[in-house]
Amino acid sequence: MKPDTDALLSNRRETVTKPRAKRAPKKETAENEVRSAIALKEVETVSEAPLPKAPPDIEFDGAALRKFPQRFINRELSWLQFNRRVLEEASNTHHPLLEQLRFLSISAENLDEFFMVRVAGLRGQVRSDVATMSQDGLSPQEQLAKISAAVSHLASDQQRRWRELRDILLEEGIVLTDGAGLTKAEASWLEDYFLNHVFPVLTPLAIDPAHPFPFIPNLGSSIALKLVRQSDGKVLNALIRLPSRGERFIRLPDFAETGATRFIALEQMIVLFTSRLFPGYDVQGQGAFRVIRDSDIEVEEEAEDLVRLFETALKQRRRGSVIRLEVEAAMPEDLRLFVAEESEVSHDEVFVVEGMMGLRDLSQLVALERPDLKFKPYNPRFPERIREHSGDCFAAIREKDIIVHHPYESFDAVVQFLHQAARDPNVVAIKQTLYRTSSNSPIVAALAEAAEAGKSVTALVELKARFDEEANIRWARDLERAGAQVVFGFIELKTHAKLSMVVRREGNQLITYCHVGTGNYHPITARIYTDLSYFTADPVIGRDVSRIFNFVTGYAEPAELERMAVSPLTLKKRLLQHIEEEIAHAKAGRPGAIWGKCNSLVDADIIDALYDASAAGVQIDLIVRGICCLRPGIKGLSENIRVKSIVGRFLEHTRIYAFGNGHGMPNPKAHVYISSADLMSRNLDRRVEALMPIVNPTVHQQVLDQIMLANLLDNEQSWTVLPDGTSQRVVPAKGEEPFNAHKYFMTNPSLSGRGKSLKTSSPKALAKRGQR
């Protein structure tokens, strides 16, 4: 490793190997919350028979632990640790106030999705008596118990932070009041608002044999009431379903002209006017509740009509079984039991919330026009080289390969590439993968325009993009109407690769221009996700991308790929081969080094290979945003592995894998790849993913010496992942210069996307800055 870089990273290596003292287990409470963007059919499992469990006394004895499944961290618990890092950003005073509130909202939304998918799947396994063990040796029931304990603590911290933020918001003139805090003028206005805007859409429902308990949709909230009829004292239970559309928080007029912004929650307003809904009754008890349903989709692999299957499945999703029932702490016990029984949930699926339910809805308050309480708006740069060619993407790419670093550089470069292709009379064909995209997508519009112009357009639409299936079906039909050829890929494999290919006639030749990305073709998420877009006219890459498209459309295995690798065929083998090469270099006395950046590290084969590399002396630095099932920094197992996670203004989404090739890191001879694939079994074994080698010297330097190095140097928004799976915020050491990777990329142009080199933002300058 280069001496200057070694100095840069030395501080990190000294702080990772000591395991933190384990907390005493928290007493299980009835309050919980969880989430994630992941599917249960993708639970990584190793056996249905019980696996041997490591004795507690060797938990951090690497040599002994290597033989047991406990060498892995449980993926569900690791994800909860990631969501805790998200929650901790809600307490990060370096963020403006409403941005802190946004992080709280995101953590709550994450937890909801985690229950909808991961917890729902584990409960389904328990109900079906499936005893499949996770790769770390836990049964579904054991995982649910550990999840429950972790979530209880996390949910309590969410509510605690909300109470703190509510007080701080009050100081800034943003008030969430309840019925008791209304002024006379506000109460009068609110009654009028209720009668004109809310009352007409509510359906008060008495629950009896003639009026059965209604279906409550996923994430739907209701108010349960115990009523006493004034005429004869008869008691009955009743229900008011809250509207699923519309605002959760109603803004009140500023009658006092104080400049304050005052809100009241919808459910509190409805409670104020219950007598309007049930005249002649007195309320003896009441409380709000909320349901979360199983939102996973069962896919029949032999379905004859995949589109029709998914349309049916989407309807079934809305009626999935309840796997979490949240009830207000103020709800009387008998009313709580009534709601639980009618919702058909067991006692361990009922969660009493001491505070506000549905914290995800706080995103509405974040939308307030208070720029003083938000991040300063950031306008991404447009790649300078394309500007120098008067916006001609093809001319810029012909001159030299370009990599565009989102969101610091505009996604408009990708959109412009496809729009230019659609309108260029010399373009004869376009092929495009679509996994996720936006409503009114400019990408889809460009493909439709090209098809209508008579070009050969092939759109590879992935229907199984979780929670985006409905939109993808709509785009597929729009493209077919425009004349494009739409292919839905494999039934058993998700097509997750991010590929675009434009074939252009130039003279007597056909030149292929390719875009290979790490993120989706989604102009909205491209503003907040860090990703890479690689443009090239390299004929070798053009042939490889064409073969990958042929693989998905015609099932022809691309065994002859020249540079790229593709899962599930060769991608994992390529990564394992490079790890083996680094082991050989280390054993031969040459520097062995691996750098990696991804969203999740779960695959057992990859983790075990990294453990072997560590044992051989290979120096491994990983940036894993979310799930990390590898235990770093354990002597005899992983003492040469350091793992960090970056959580900040932008969502880290780039996948980069680099291998020193016997020269340490960083160096021009290292093998560097960008990819659509995370290091999970679902990506490596059950998806079509692309692995793209970076051989252009300028792009190679940008990815390795600038992007990866800046992320490794970050000490303002980074967390060290500890051996027990928990994480600890990185704090700059005394005398160490603070460095924020996001701020660096926002203020320093990239290498390949500009026309002329700027010394102030070169990797060497970055390394020297880190040394100071």
Residues belonging to the active site: 496
Q: What H or E segment, with its residue span, contains residue 534?
A: strand 529-536
Q: Which of 467, 535, 511 is nearest to 36 (CA)?
A: 467
Q: What are the strands of the beta sheet with 350-353, ordered from one edge?
A: 204-207, 235-241, 221-229, 281-293, 322-328, 350-353
CA distance 289 to 238: 13
At residue 529, φ and ψ (nearest 5 deg) are -95, 135
Inter-residue contact 427 to 504 (CB < 8 Å): yes
In 3-state terms, what secondary structure has residue 371?
A: helix
Cα distance between residue 763 and residue 749, in whole Å: 11
Is residue 742 a contact partner of residue 647, using CB atoms and an 8 Å limit?
no
Count how many residues are written for the chain: 772
3-state secondary structure of 557: coil
- Return the closest-CA partner of residue 653 out of 711, 713, 710, 599: 599
| Phi, psi (rounded to 5 degrees) for 481 | -65, -30
N- to C-terminal Cα separation, the chain? 19
Q: What type of residue is 544? A: D
675 torsion bin: left (phi>0), alpha (psi -120 to 50), beta (else): beta
Using an 8 Å Cβ cutoff, are 385 and 416 in contact? Answer: no
- Strands 133-134 and 45-47, bridge-based pairing: antiparallel
Q: Which stretches of 224-305 are DSSP H helices?
A: 266-272, 274-277
The rounded distance, in Å, linking the Cα atoms of 497 and 566 is 9
